[in-house]
Amino acid sequence: MTVKEIFDSMSYGPAPESSAEALAWIARHGGTFGHWIDGAFTAPGKSFVTANPATGTPLAMVAEGGAEDVAAAVAAARRAQQKWARLPAHARAKVLYGLARLVQKHARLLAVLETMDNGKPIRESRDIDIPLVARHFSYHAGLAQLLPSEHPGLAAIGVSAPSSPGTFRS
């Protein structure tokens, strides 16, 4: 076998993931998404089209957040944080482990959505990004479980707001 034949035999075939489930999920939501605040999607206000960068095909209309959206999200998070802080460590761990399990359960859908939205290879979304999301929830669940024994007296102090590239539009 020649070197070329070896490399040709190692080439990647098409990914078995289909976009059908992801497109059906988008369609079930009417193709338009508000913000997820206080346990529900908000009515979308000012929105923009998100498109599959590989094909240019529009995927959905997505709400563009503004100061009022941020204020509503922070207010909802502060209300939820009060209840969360009163939960015992094992109850917080249970919720976080549950989130990790949901990410694992829906990993294929999430990976395809991620790939369709940003154009990265499915292998990266499926094998790295989505498993890392589940791992982060599991890791923090473990920390929550150990909190009383490892850091007695440590208490939740408030709400934080992570952001990532592409979160804000100018």
Mean pLDDT is lowest, of 7-11, 62-66, 111-115, for 7-11
- What tens digit of pLDDT does each residue of 96-144 get? 999 999 999 999 999 999 999 999 999 999 999 999 999 999 999 999 9
- pLDDT on residue 151: 87
Confidence at 12, pLDDT banded by 50, 70, 90 = low
Per DSSP, the three-state class of 55 is coil
Q: Tokens 């034949």 sit at which residue?
A: 5
Whether residue 169 is predicted with pLDDT greater than 60 in this model: the reply is no
- What tens digit of pLDDT does each residue of 83-93 get? 998 999 999 99
Task: Count helices and strands (H / E) in the chain.
Answer: 7, 5
- pLDDT on residue 65: 87
- pLDDT on residue 11: 62
CA triple 7-123-19, angle to 5 deg: 120
Whether residue 8 is predicted with pLDDT greater than 70 in this model: the reply is no
Whether residue 168 is predicted with pLDDT greater than 60 in this model: the reply is no
- pLDDT on residue 93: 95
Residue 23 or 6, more confident: 23
Whether residue 30 is predicted with pLDDT greater than 60 in this model: the reply is yes
pTM over 0.75: yes
